[in-house]
Amino acid sequence: MKKIVWGRSIGWNIDNRNMQITEKIFDGPDCYTWREVFAWWPVKTISGRYVWWCKVYKQRYWAVWGQGFHMELRVEYGTVFDILKSYDNE
């Protein structure tokens, strides 16, 4: 069991304890769907690969852990192929 890191958010501590996200809310405040951006620095895509110096897509959503115990705004990146593959699996 990992130690709690004081001074960090509850979500950061929960995420580092390997808790799973139970729900993703895409229509909340401060959320937006996939937007085209340029990755100047390495970003981790939804497939787990790191890409940089290329065009990627970015979206923001609210991540919920457990039974609505904690919500945190999250950002995820993906290439066109990652996004199409994720929609194919749903």
Q: Confirm if 59 and 76 have CB atoms less than 8 A apart.
A: yes
Q: Is the pLDDT of residue 18 over 90?
A: no
Whole-structure pTM value: 0.72
What's the distance, Cα to Cα, between the start and end of the chain in Å? 33
DSSP β-bridge partners for residue 65: 21, 70
Instruction: Please tell me the chain's helix, strand, coil percentages from 3-state DSSP, rounded to the nearest 5.
Output: 20, 45, 40
pLDDT per position as a tens digit, 23-50: 888 888 888 989 999 999 999 999 999 9
In a domain, 63, yes or no: yes
Q: Is the pLDDT of residue 63 over 80?
A: yes
Q: Is the pLDDT of residue 14 over 70?
A: no
Backbone angles phi, psi at 85, to 5 degrees: -65, -40
In a domain, 13, yes or no: no
pLDDT, residue 12, reads 65
Q: Confirm if 64 and 70 have CB atoms less than 8 A apart.
A: yes
- In which domain, by residue range, is 27 found? 23-89
In a domain, 15, yes or no: no
In a domain, 29, yes or no: yes
pLDDT, residue 55, reads 96
